[in-house]
Amino acid sequence: MSEFQSLRGFHDLLGEEFKRFKYVSELVRGKLKLYNFEEIVLPVVEYLEVFRRSIGEATDIVQKEMFAFQDRKGRWLALRPEGTAGAVRAYIQNRLYALKPYTKLFYEGPMFRYERPQAGRYRQFHQIGAEVFGSIDPLVDAEIIQIVYEILSELNAKVIIEINSIGCKVCRPPYKEALSTYLRTVAGHLCEVCIDRSDRNPLRVLDCKVPTCKEAVKEAPKMVDFLCNECREHYSKLKEYLTLLSIPYRENPHLVRGLDYYTKTVFEAVSEELDVALIAGGRYDYLVEEMGGPPTPAVGFAVGVERLSLLVREGLTEDPLYMLIPFGDVMDYALLVAKALRSEGKRVELSYKRAGLKKQLELANRLGAKYAVLVGEEERAGNFYTLKDMETGHQLKIELSPAM
């Protein structure tokens, strides 16, 4: 083993894994462009308070998963665990609310969470997230879920989109009350963390992964039964739009998210094969105001790029590779042939290996070349090259354009 190793949970993305990663990234970005989202690049480090205030003090992320540290001046900073907090900070700081009636942004980049690494769970991972600021319309929620659905469909993923509404300032407090009361009656079956949460943050109990807790909350009151008129209409309109767009979904009345800032719509795309969440999001109508901006409703989602990459199975198609093989002292001519082929848009690898034809053809095979471009004394004298199809062995002499 070499002296230096990367940190636990911090991985190198390379080879086939990188190709799948890039494929997912480009798929999501392409989709967001179709919906006219504008890209922003956000800092990786923010003041710790940005995350504490937005994500919430009582969440797993803030309590256990942050890479927080003090800088040389003793200020508390953190590596971002997610993108929405920074996007909201940027939206306010750059006064984007003053420019347009609503704003559609997306970002891509590494996120950091101190959790136990396992398949598809890293300490540095990547998200692509999109946020729409400035509209309360359920149409926006529907379009956000539509994007998610279209991404998953293009990956042929066996997933189910779960949705729920977790209400607003008006209807959530009475629900929390009812939930707390219920949780006290099943306290004997709850884990210690959940007993602690039952009063302060009862919604999080619904999200607990401990089997006895999962069982104990099955009969718990549901937020949908407590929604105020506004939230109920918002939720039913959303469902109407999803049906209109033929987007299959499942209502999960106990779906809550691990972040405190959500209101009304929350959703999650769960892989049926892998049993993990791939894409998640929801509405957060108070967060901009809580972070010091004007009251601005908002809704968004985040894709875990490594997670989605796990679903990419089919062979990724690449442009065919042309392996340029010089034999003899023809390097000058080989450079010019490579230049000519690349100017036609072809993917060309000029072999750096000085060896006989047979060895070089073996290398071309190993690199997965579709064609070998053979260049020797004869080719140079006649200003052509010999194109060999690696599969059929068929050869063709092709003249180089006079411009070269």
Residues of the shown chain interacting with ligand ATP in the complex, contacts defined by CB under 6 A: 82, 113, 115, 120-122, 125, 127, 258, 276-280, 302, 304, 306-307
Q: How far is the CB of 293 from ligand ATP (least distance, A)?
A: 22
CA dihedral over 57, 60, 63, 67, signed as positive or negative: negative
Residue number with CB closer to ligand ATP (127 or 165): 127
**How far from chain centre, in Å, is Cα 34?**
17
- 24 vs 70: CA distance, rounded Å: 35
Q: How many CA atoms does the CB half-sphere of 164 hold within 13 Å? A: 22
Nearer Cβ to ligand ATP (31/113): 113
Indicate the residue among 77 and 276 with the shorter CB distance to ligand ATP.
276
Which spans in 41-200 are helix H? 48-55, 60, 84-93, 138-154, 172-185, 192-200
Q: How far is the CB of 138 from ligand ATP (least distance, A)?
A: 21
Could you give the CA distance from residue 152 to residue 137 in angstroms, rounded to a whole number? 24
In the complex, least distance from residue 118 CB atom to ligand ATP, rounded to whole angstroms: 9
Closer to ligand ATP by Cβ: residue 179 or 269: 269
Give the nearest distance from C-beta 128 to ligand ATP in angstroms.
10
Q: Based on CB atoms, which residue is closest to ligand ATP, 306 or 379?
A: 306
Q: How far apart are CA 341 and CA 337, in angstroms?
A: 6
In angstroms, the CA 166 to CA 266 distance is 7
Q: Which is nearer to ligand ATP, 220 or 255 (CB)?
A: 255
From the CB of 195, what's the least distance to ligand ATP, in Å? 21
| Alpha helices by DSSP H, 13-164 | 15-34, 48-55, 60, 84-93, 138-154
Smallest distance, Å, CB 300 to ligand ATP?
11
